[in-house]
Structure 1
């Protein structure tokens, strides 16, 4: 029941991610969805829903949720099914508490920080996205032994892919972040700035692609599918004028997503 509850959260929040996770092997698919369900609930606390519900003390709510999540693996029963599902996965996959702590540190920044320097944005991306890649990697290799040298290479790829995903989201969610949430991850978004961000994303995606062939069979197809989907988004973002990002969110049509998923299945087998 808890696993199904986590799956329902993901199905409602992200069609692209939900499609990509279908290409993961069964047990791994469960663990990645359990992780992301917890992440989505944390996002809800800081991204406006708690405010719309007139929650009096949102920072306290986030702190309470962080405590619940970080203590969850130590307990074997939880009344919240998403927390219960996450706790089972965290124990199975030996998630590092430092990674979870870094994630919540970035979530807290969304409550009080509206502008970022290059250094502070790098720290934010690490906590909001790169550590999620590292937690996914821990799930991929929960039952697989690999040398420290190889795992370090895989970690670089995982962090790069997480960073790419976050930067893509910064661009396509630019209007909502600035207009509704009052966040300026990039001080200026003109065509020159956009081109520099696109170049950075493509560098991250290239680093991620380099390690995808080394991933276990259970993960390779799903990760390749997610990478291809975000490459498509990157290409579409590159084609539009920066001013367009101030007006609308760039999307990948459903038919195109299906084609990319089929390409991932074929590419992973090769």
Structure 2
């Protein structure tokens, strides 16, 4: 019997700590993201807690560089120290299987079970660190930032989809890896366009190079739609307890992309109305194919 087993219906101290850490991660997603939270609820019981744990760590890191740390009085240099400490604690927790930080502990449990390693963790923190030092991006820095901030998060989730509940994690297929990366990239570029006004005025950042004329809004939307189409074609290859959630997330961002293309106001934050979100979720629950998927 291991330390994480349940004895006579009551969790051991470590099992209770694990459960509390996962509950803390679930609280983060419930407070911060209605759209991602909706998609997460469509996941099966096997992958759901792990995806919540990934999102929670990502959200905490993002908050260090995107406002709350500054509002608490931290300078960019101090915020970078906090981010470095979080990265170090995360990597240490994956190795040892324990952290005094509940969000890090929850992520480490997922990483150890599903095969998420340093090769995915470090690029994520590198991109977060970029937000403290880089305001304007060209094509190369955009691609590097998106890889670390979004594509690797998609790859972390893919590790969960393939490996949650297994004894020995395996590497996903190349086609699934490509689909996860392109879906993550599409999500990030949609968010860049949605938050364009806030990023420019409040944060002083130009992730897409629109201000310098390095690219155009139409070119970005064309790239998003190409990435969404590529991702749609491989969602059917995911385990059955993941497809509905990924389809719902894909179709939500496809709807956002459409609305962004129709909108003439680049400063207003485009959103999908709740009734439309509900229809997207229902269609996914009923087993509909992702929008744009080949028949």
Query: Which bin holds the TM-score, normalised by the shorter protein?
Result: over 0.9
Radius of gyration: which is bigger?
A: 2
**2:235 is matched with which residue?**
212
Equivalent runs, 1:40-55 vs 2, <5 Å:
40-55=59-74
**1:183 is matched with which residue?**
205
SS of equivalent to 1:3: helix
d(CA) in 2 for partners of 1:267, 1:146: 27
d(CA) in 1 for partners of 2:276, 2:266: 21
Equivalent runs, 1:41-190 vs 2, <5 Å:
41-56=60-75, 57-142=78-163, 143=166, 151-188=173-210
SS of equivalent to 1:112: coil
Greater helix content: 1
d(CA) in 2 for partners of 1:187, 1:229: 25
For these two proteins, the number of residue pairs brought into alignment is 265
| Alpha carbons 2:114, 2:169 under 8 Å: kept | no
SS of equivalent to 2:131: helix
Structure 2: any 5+ residue segments left out of the alignment? 1-19, 291-295
Taking only aligned residues, the RMSD between alpha carbons, in angstroms, comes to 2.0
TM-score by length of 1: 0.93
| Alpha carbons 1:28, 1:140 under 8 Å: kept | yes
**Among residues 258, 267, 270, which one is paired with 2:278 in the alignment?**
258
Q: CA deviation at 1:231?
A: 0.5
**Among residues 43, 46, 53, which one is paired with 1:24 in the alignment?**
43
SS of equivalent to 1:55: coil
d(CA) in 2 for partners of 1:146, 1:9: 26
**1:221 is matched with which residue?**
244
Q: CA deviation at 1:83?
A: 1.2
d(CA) in 2 for partners of 1:95, 1:186: 29
d(CA) in 2 for partners of 1:17, 1:66: 23
d(CA) in 2 for partners of 1:172, 1:204: 17
| Alpha carbons 1:220, 1:268 under 8 Å: kept | no
Q: CA deviation at 1:147?
A: 9.2
Moved over 4 A (4+): 144-148
Q: CA deviation at 1:81?
A: 1.3
Structure 1: any 5+ residue segments left out of the alignment? none
